[in-house]
Amino acid sequence: MEIREFQNLMRQIYYQRDQQRGLAGTFVWFAEEVGELAKSIREGNRENYGEEFSDVLAWLASLANLLGVDLEQAVEKYKKGCPRCGKIPCQCG
Ligand SMILES: [Zn+2]
């Protein structure tokens, strides 16, 4: 699934609830999921990594939908390599 497709799916599933919850509440949930990912990494809980990444991505997509940010455009920034040095891999000192 491409990132635009994923964002659209998240919009279809959650946009109404995301709107009702609002930006601040949605950001708090996003931060909580990042915290859960951090906890999994800290505990070396490898079997949870995939699920935690799913949740972080879903909440990031919810935020992007609320803010009208196109994630497909967001990834364009890195399309030609490191945005600072333009190299792949990054050669920044
Ligand atoms: Zn660089």
Write the pLDDT tens digit of every residue in 16-65: 999 999 999 999 999 999 999 999 999 999 999 999 999 999 999 999 99
Helical ranges in 43-84 per DSSP H: 49-67, 71-76
Ligand 1 centroid–CA 93 distance in Å is: 8
Predicted model pTM:
0.93
Q: Which residues crowd ion ligand 1, with CB under 5 Å?
A: 82, 84-85, 90, 92
- Give the separation between CA 17 and CA 5, rounded to whole angstroms: 19
Domain ranges of the chain: 3-76
- Give the separation between CA 28 and CA 7, rounded to whole angstroms: 19
Ligand 1 centroid–CA 33 distance in Å is: 29
- Give the separation between CA 32 and CA 56, rounded to whole angstroms: 9
- In the structure encoding, which two tokens stand for residue 31, read together? 């931060």
User: Which CATH architecture describes the domain 3-76?
Assistant: Orthogonal Bundle (1.10)
Backbone angles phi, psi at 28, to 5 degrees: -60, -40
Ligand 1 centroid–CA 71 distance in Å is: 21
